[in-house]
Homo-oligomer: A and B are copies of this chain.
Amino acid sequence: MKLGRILVESPDGPMARLVQVLPEEGRVIDLRRASIDHLMARNATREAALRLSEALFPGSMSEAIALGDRFLAALRNADAARPDEASIEMDKVTWLPATDPSVVRDGLTFIEHIKGFHEKMGKDPEPALLKVPGYFKGTPWTLFGHDAEIPWPDFIDYMDYELEIGFVIGKRGRNVRPEEARSYLFGLTIFNDFSARDRQGVEMPIGMGPQKCKDFAYGVGPWITTMDEISDLGGLEMSVRINGETWASGTSANTLWSADELIAYVSLGEWIQPGDLIGSGTMGRGSALELGRKLSPGDVVELEIAGVGTLRNRMGQPEKTPWWPSERKPFM
């Protein structure tokens, strides 16, 4: 099943709704609306059907997934119903980020990317990269859905994209083992880890992880494909198109760490939560840096993963920053 989040108009203003996506039919099904119909056909009053459907299908994907098996059962019921009243044409949809994770985490697993990145930077990978499946954390408030324009703060000069698989977590866990990690995986989405290479060069030496070089934007979408539709996590075809021109293509094979190891490592001593997003790290040649290229304002970035979909975003124009810190004098 393919699940997404869209924005619809309501008497209270715009509101988020969960939808089942039927790409081959060019439409989406508003799940709350379908659930109301399903419940009323089974003797619920309209008021009660509305109340329960609101709880089963909130606007938050994370809150919905957090309902566990009950959410999956409600999905099956809504899927069986698919009333015409709940149907919306895809080309009329305003997409929201496919999930609203409590934390964005992003790994580094594709060997070709690690090689390509370090070759471009002219340095060897840190030996520490071989010890654990490291990852960084991003803030959850700068996620952008399919077709959203990506902000370009003017402190960024060298703008880049990164093509990644987004692993969406299906249930709460801590100290998960790799062999059980797959049962914690709800589905896949496409994750564009937009990156400011010039800011990255300043921030990385501080040793505290990315700040302004990453947290201005993460692309997430267009929707989530649940794991029952994915036959081989290591065999996904992936590609990047910029303004319609293919810049890179490859597959999800050849990783330093498996998805299961990455998820398990993330959960050690801490919690993974329903709806959380863990990026696979960038596919080999899946960033402009590796190709010696960069993005310009107005560029259209399309990331495709076969079996999932295509996440498309246009880069905005540079936006004025009101202030920037002045450099300090050495104190040691």
Contacts and interface: CB of A to CB of B under 8 A. Distances in A.
A140 B211 contact: no
Contact of A269 (B102, B106, B133, B212): B212
Nearest to A128: B205
A139 B267 CA distance: 11
Interface in A161-176: 175
A134 B325 contact: no
A293 interface: no
A27 B69 CA distance: 42
Main secondary structure of the interface of A (DSSP, over half): loop
A234 interface: no
Given A257-B325, A322-B175, A325-B261, A271 B206 contact: no
Interface string A131-155: 1111111111110000000010101
Given A203-B128, A321-B175, A209 B209 contact: yes
Q: How large is the interface on A (under 10, 10 to 19, 20 to 34, 35 or more residues)?
A: 35 or more
B202 A131 contact: yes
6 contacts: A127-B205, A130-B330, A132-B211, A153-B269, A208-B210, A257-B328
A264 B269 CA distance: 32
A205 B207 CA distance: 7
Given A132-B206, A215-B270, 19 more contacts: A102-B140, A102-B141, A103-B141, A108-B208, A118-B332, A128-B205, A130-B327, A131-B325, A132-B325, A136-B209, A137-B139, A139-B270, A151-B269, A153-B269, A175-B322, A177-B322, A212-B269, A212-B270, A268-B323
A321 B118 contact: no
Interface in A283-321: 321
